[in-house]
């Protein structure tokens, strides 16, 4: 897929709070000729509206804003093959949206969190040959989670692993690691993860509907699973992440109070 004389900026916008944007991100948004916003269909309109809110606050130039229909990944067959086909389809959707705006030279995509952490936008951009790629880092969900709970990501001189929930579910807790940050869980990894461990969980991090629970995993697993199901039903979508820490000397730690938002 060739795109001559085109600059594509992947701009990390944090976790949905317009205040998460860096000065670099705001400047890059305002350099764009065209800003692409994915339309993920029914139930996901709020995500597009959040991008609109960000642009209404921070876009001062006269860039065109264009929505494109986000392709849907198939659920059947090999997972990695399905993801690769999906990424091909997204790249084609980008090109079609760009072609609809003749004369475009600088395109921007607003990426949740940071483009380098558990996001596929960079891999999709690799399918476009001949582009000049710019990447603007953003606040990650892990950073927002730790900030919301007022905790450090790692213990003193201790390693941390960042895992997709699929890996935790299929392979268990990695050996030699005391703390794991878990991304992209549909609930199945949390449901099957054995304790003892301390959990710091958060949904809609940085947003008005932010919800936090912390404490002993075995005590709170069912509470969190019920809470995330209720939130998904309420909002039509959910973004959440959690940090799990193994206890020292068999003690799961002092954080044993659930803090759901009323």
Query: Where in the chain are the domains?
Result: 7-139, 142-245
Span 194-223, pLDDT tens digits: 889 999 999 999 998 999 999 999 999 999
Q: Which CATH architecture has domain 142-245?
A: 2-Layer Sandwich (3.30)
Higher model confidence: residue 4 or residue 207?
Answer: 207
Percent of the chain at pLDDT exceeding 90: 74
- Residue 253 confidence (pLDDT): 39
Which pLDDT score is estimated for 247? Answer: 78
- Stretch (H or E) spanning 190: helix 188-192
The sign of the dihedral angle between the CA atoms of 160, 161, 165, 170 is negative
With respect to CATH, is domain 7-139 assigned 3.40.1010.10? yes
Give this prediction's pTM: 0.85
Q: Is the pLDDT of residue 145 over 60?
A: yes
Q: In what order do the strands lie in the sheet with 106-111?
A: 64-69, 34-39, 106-111, 7-12, 132-136
pLDDT digits (tens, 9 = 90+) for 21-76: 999 999 999 999 999 999 876 656 677 688 889 999 999 988 999 999 999 999 88
Cα(254)–Cα(29) distance, rounded to whole angstroms? 43
Partners of 135 in beta bridges = 10
Q: For the segment 146-168, what is each residue's pLDDT rounded down to a tens digit?
A: 999 999 998 888 899 999 999 99
Q: Residues 184, 117: contact at Cβ < 8 Å?
A: no
Is 257's pLDDT higher than 50?
no
């Amino acid at each position: 897929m060739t795109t001559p004389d085109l600059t594509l900026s992947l701009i990390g916008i944090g976790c949905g709070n317009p205040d998460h944007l860096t000065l670099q991100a705001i400047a890059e948004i305002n350099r764009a000729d065209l800003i692409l916003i994915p339309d993920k269909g029914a139930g996901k309109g709020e995500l597009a509206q959040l991008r609109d809110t960000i642009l209404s606050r921070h876009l001062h130039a006269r860039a065109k804003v264009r929505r494109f229909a986000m392709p849907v990944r198939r659920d059947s067959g090999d997972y990695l093959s399905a993801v690769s086909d999906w990424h091909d389809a997204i790249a084609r959707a980008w090109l079609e949206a760009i072609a609809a705006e003749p004369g475009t030279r600088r395109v921007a995509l607003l990426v949740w969190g940071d483009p380098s952490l558990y996001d596929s936008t960079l891999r999709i951009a690799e399918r476009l040959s001949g582009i000049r790629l710019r990447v603007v880092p953003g606040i990650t969900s892990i950073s927002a989670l730790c900030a919301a709970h007022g905790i450090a990501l790692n213990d003193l001189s201790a390693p941390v692993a960042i895992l997709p929930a699929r890996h935790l579910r299929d392979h268990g807790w990695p050996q030699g690691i005391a703390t794991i940050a878990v991304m992209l869980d549909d609930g199945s990894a949390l449901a099957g993860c054995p304790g003892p461990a301390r959990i710091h969980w958060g949904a809609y991090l940085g947003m008005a509907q932010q919800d936090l629970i912390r404490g002993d995993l075995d005590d709170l697993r069912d509470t969190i699973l019920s809470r995330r199901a209720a939130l998904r039903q309420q909002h039509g979508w959910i973004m959440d992440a959690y940090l799990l820490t193994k206890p020292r000397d068999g003690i799961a730690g002092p954080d044993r109070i659930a803090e759901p938002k009323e």
